[in-house]
Structure 1
Amino acid sequence: MKIILANPRGFCAGVNMAIASLETALQQFGTPLYVYHEIVHNRPVVERFRNQGVVFVESIDEIPVGATVLYSAHGVSPVIRTLSSERQLRAIDATCPLVTKVHKEAVRYAKEGYTIILVGHEGHDEVIGTMGEAPEHMILVQDIHDVAKLTLPADSKLAYLTQTTLSVDETEGIIDALKQKYPQIVGPAKADICYATQNRQEAVKELAGICDVVLVLGSQNSSNSNRLAEIAKVMGKPAYLIDRVQELSLDWFQPNDTVLITAGASAPEENVQACVEFLRDRFQADVEQRTIREEHVSFPLPVELRVLIR
């Protein structure tokens, strides 16, 4: 067996920042410490912090007055910030800066009188937060069929934004459909799909063709991890999305397979390496690293933490 490890893979700069923020908050404030939504969409990461006393909540009302809350990497709406203030919470904002960028674009377009078409997945934490910036100005579309159903006047003042963790190809198709239907629609200067999402997808597209099986480390509720598995399947490759090595099945492999292993932007590298060791032990697999693109991006801790650790 041969294992090809895709680079880049795993934690992006936004996830690194969010996890470092929670670790630092634990050191500074101890427990109980509350996080609004999952810190990132990865079950092993969430379980690790829960075991350390972190409490993940789906409503600000669940947090005691005056406690400390950390906002997840996916961002929150202004309503959540207001509710936190009303409960006198110490709020730490670990929103990924690339998500914050989309929020700011939504506010700007709304102030300029645009109706905003948001391309994203209904119910995703990032989409909920973004739509909360200008709910009266925003319409969600999930695919080209939703675009076809739009009944806005032909001369509407329109802009589009995108969820950062979608597939490049999927988003391009929806945006093309929007432009065909509404040629006057405008969008941000740069695509809102984050660099990490795009880079991980490019690596799968380039490497899956020479492999027999694709393993994606990531959770079922991780949008970008699901996209990696979908890309491999579209290329005709069996692809499996798993959190941990314990979920591997020997039935997925033949002794002489070439196996591509990658990881979503919120999946820990330790879980990748556990899968590598499993396949080494069972199939005497050789391992090769393949780098498609270098990444040198980092984000600072939230200002609420930086002022405490100067």
Structure 2
Amino acid sequence: MFVRHEIVHNKHVVEGLRRKGAQFVEELDEVPTGAVTIFSAHGVSKEVESDAKARQLHSIDATCPLVIKVHTQGRQYAASGRTVILIGHAGHPEVEGTMGQIPGKVILVQSEAEVALLDLPADTPVAYVTQTTLSVDDTRNIIAALSRRFANLIGPDTRDICYATQNRQSAVRELSKQVEVILVIGATNSSNSNRLREIGTESGVPSYLIADGSELNPEWVRGVEVVGITAGASAPEEMVNDVIATLRQLGPVDLSVMDGREEHAEFRLPAELADPPPRRQAAGTATAEAAPQPDPQTAAG
């Protein structure tokens, strides 16, 4: 089994899959003809999809449903004759995939300054979509700049932005009021994890991005009474527990979980990986619901 690009930006998730036999590649020409190939959660372009089909690869699309929604919105805007602007970070795999899913020219904008430089008449029918790992706060000023620049502008509801990104950013701002140091658990190539660290720093609290407990520098917490812990959207809970265990090796820890917005969204597996439907029973049915995941904002003192 091959996976194009890191399935999510978290090395522990990637290494766990690699131990189970998955091979990670950046381009499809590294995959043998006919092999099973998984597209990452960030999504891929139409060109990549066509290339996979031409090479007779058995592809499994693991694109995040929120990313797919952005692709769909972008295609609808383009079909209605609007110029599509994508708010995002150049080089990010989600941005590359989204730009390759929307027909015609898609303009990438990363800042308010770039909005001012757009070579488009003010009356151009324009629509915007956003990279899902940007929060409402990240995009608010750029959207406002677009609104000032273009008289005929539409875009999706802000609720379409990844809830996991917005919830974590809001929680870090609250967490920063209660702690002396913030530890963000995530990967260095994770856009949303880096933003959490930046928010902590902007709030005046020393903040560090670490993958797990092994990267925790004891000097960061020496003499500190309250440490805040948060995690990027793709960081598994076991990594949070690993950091807490490392803190306990440095001294006694009283753990408390900060109140936050609970996340109840559930996404279905790709059809190829889903369990077959259960056989029909003569009488009675049974259902099970996944328990809500705890908010990852934690304070350790």
Q: Tell me the TM-score normalized by structure 2.
A: 0.89
Structure 1 position 282, deviation (Å): 1.0
* Whole-angstrom CA distance in 2 between matches of 1:52 and 1:68: 14
What's the counterpart of residue 300 of structure 1?
A: 268
Who is 1:192 aligned against? 160
Residue 89 of structure 2 is aligned with which of 99, 117, 121?
Answer: 121
CA–CA distance in structure 1, aligned partners of residues 178 and 151 of structure 2? 40
The answer to whether the Cα contact below 8 Å between 1:161 and 1:192 also exists between their aligned partners in 2 is no
| Residues 1:203 and 2:193 aligned together | no
Q: Which has the larger radius of gyration?
A: 2
For residue 94 of structure 1, the aligned residue among 52, 56, 62 is: 62
Task: Give the number of equivalent residue pairs.
Answer: 278
For the residue of structure 1 that corresponds to 2:154, the secondary structure is: coil
Q: 1:3 aligns to what?
A: none
Matched letter for residue 42 of structure 1: N
Q: Which has the higher helix share?
A: 1
Q: What's the offset of the Cα at 1:95? A: 0.7
Alpha-carbon separation, structure 1, partners of 2:134 and 2:266: 21
Please say if 1:139 is aligned against 2:113: no
Percent of paired sites with the same residue: 52
2:17 paired residue number: 49
Structure 1 residue 227 and structure 2 residue 195: aligned? yes
Shift of 1:193: 1.6
TM-score (norm. length: structure 1)? 0.86
> What SS class does the counterpart of residue 38 from structure 2 fall into?
strand
Tell me the CA shift for residue 307 of structure 1. Answer: 6.5
- Aligned-pair CA distance for 1:200: 0.9
Residue 74 (structure 1) aligned with residue 64 (structure 2): no
Residues 242 and 95 from structure 1, CA distance in 2 versus in 1: closer, same or farther, beyond 3 angstroms? Answer: same
Aligned equivalents of 2:30, 2:18: Cα separation in 1: 16
Deviations 1:114-134 (A, max 9, x none): 111100000111100100012
| Alpha-carbon distance in 1 for matches of 2:30, 2:117 | 38
- 1:120 maps to a residue whose letter is G
Deviations 1:226-264 (A, max 9, x none): 111111111011110010111111111133421110100
Residue 59 (structure 1) aligned to one of 27, 30, 55? 27
| Structure 1 position 281 matched with structure 2 position 235 | no
Structure 1 stretches of 4+ with a deviation exceeding 4 A read 307-310
- Give the distance between the partners of 2:277 and 2:56, measured in 1 at CA: 22
Contact 1:213–1:239 (8 Å) recurs in 2: yes
Amino acid at match of 2:17: F
Classify the secondary structure of the residue corresponding to 2:84. strand
Q: How does 1:139-288 map to 2 (within 5 A)?
A: 139-288=107-256
In the alignment, the residues of structure 1 paired with residue 108 and residue 200 of structure 2 have an alpha-carbon distance, to the nearest angstrom, of: 27
Question: How big is the alpha-carbon RMSD for the aligned residues of Structure 1 and Structure 2?
Answer: 1.4
Q: Is the 8 A contact 2:2 2:36 kept in 1?
A: yes
CA–CA distance in 2 between the matches of 1:238 and 1:96?
32
Q: Does the 8 Å contact 1:245/1:274 carry over to 2? A: yes
Corresponding residue of 1:14: none
The residue aligned with 1:7 is: none
Q: Which residue of 2 aligns with 1:12?
A: none
1:4 aligns with: none
The question of whether the paired residues in 2 share the 8 Å contact of 1:216 and 1:229 is answered with yes
**What is the CA-CA distance between 1:207 and the residue it aligns to?**
1.5
Report the Cα offset of residue 183 of structure 1: 3.0
| Higher-RCO chain (CA-CA 8 Å, sequence separation at least 6) | 1
307 and 293 in structure 1: CA distance in 2 versus 1, 3 angstrom threshold:
closer
Equivalents in 2 of 1:195, 1:272: separation in Å? 20
Question: For residues 272 and 252 of structure 2, what CA distance do their matches in structure 1 show?
Answer: 49
C-alpha separation in 2, matches of 1:289 and 1:196: 17
Q: Give SS of 1:241's match.
A: strand
5+ residue gaps, structure 2, are 279-301
Whether the aligned pair in 1 keeps the contact of 2:45 and 2:99 (CA below 8 Å) is yes
